[in-house]
Amino acid sequence: MTADGGSSVTADLQPVAPGYKHLLRVRLALFWLPVAAAVAVADQQLLGEHPIYGLASVAIAVLALAIVAAVPQRSYRRLRYGLGDRLLQVVRGWMFHTDTLVPYVRVQHLDVTRGPLDKMFGTATLVVHTAGTHNSIVTLPGLQPLRAIEIRDIIREHVRSDFG
């Protein structure tokens, strides 16, 4: 039992859609590609005749590939969510762990968003706006679109029944 009288959902945490790790991989690649290109240009312009010419270009390319290969899988494995009788739980993070509990009675507004990469990989993000100012927006990315809509509707029904 939690302080608000609802049951804890820690034991029933669900993974997000597998396509989310691919979305993360593409986002990271889109970040690192211009960085690697800029380092290659700087390497050529600044170190063209120097004995360590090319080292920075190779190092940043290896670093970028390692990050693009490892980070999305780790982030995906550590993003989980659960629905309880009275709250939504979102657990994320592999370097900095965050466990967020959102009581349904605090929910004021719900959105389901999908960007171009979400559409490409079959994912959506549930955005939960809560009462208060500190951490008043909780996001749950990587859901299958129908599941995001289903969770939104479940929470909306709880909010209606609490206030209706």
Task: State the pLDDT at residue 3.
Answer: 46
Task: State the pLDDT at residue 131.
Answer: 86
Residue 30, SS3? helix
Task: State the pLDDT at residue 6.
Answer: 47
**Residuewise pLDDT in 10s, the chain (164 residues):** 444 444 555 668 999 999 999 999 999 999 999 999 999 999 888 877 777 888 889 999 999 999 999 999 999 999 999 999 899 999 999 889 999 999 999 999 999 999 999 999 999 999 999 987 777 999 999 999 999 999 999 999 988 776 65
Q: What is the DSSP string of 110-121?
A: EEEE--HHHHHH
Task: State the pLDDT at residue 90.
Answer: 97
Task: State the pLDDT at residue 79.
Answer: 97
Predicted model pTM: 0.83
Q: Which helix (H) or strand (E) holds 51?
A: none
The CATH topology of domain 10-15+81-163 is PH-domain like (2.30.29)
Extract the runs of DSSP E, i.e. beta strands, from 41-96: 80-83, 87-92
Q: Where exactly are the structural domains of the chain?
A: 10-15+81-163, 21-75
Buried b / exposed e over 34-69, threshold 16 CB at 10 Å, is eebeebbeebeeeeeeeeeeeebbeebeeebeeebe
Task: State the pLDDT at residue 9.
Answer: 57
Distance CA 146, CA 151 (A): 9
Sheet holding 80-83, edge to edge: 14-15, 80-83, 87-92, 98-103
Distance CA 117, CA 33 (A): 17
Distance CA 52, CA 43 (A): 9
Task: State the pLDDT at residue 147.
Answer: 97
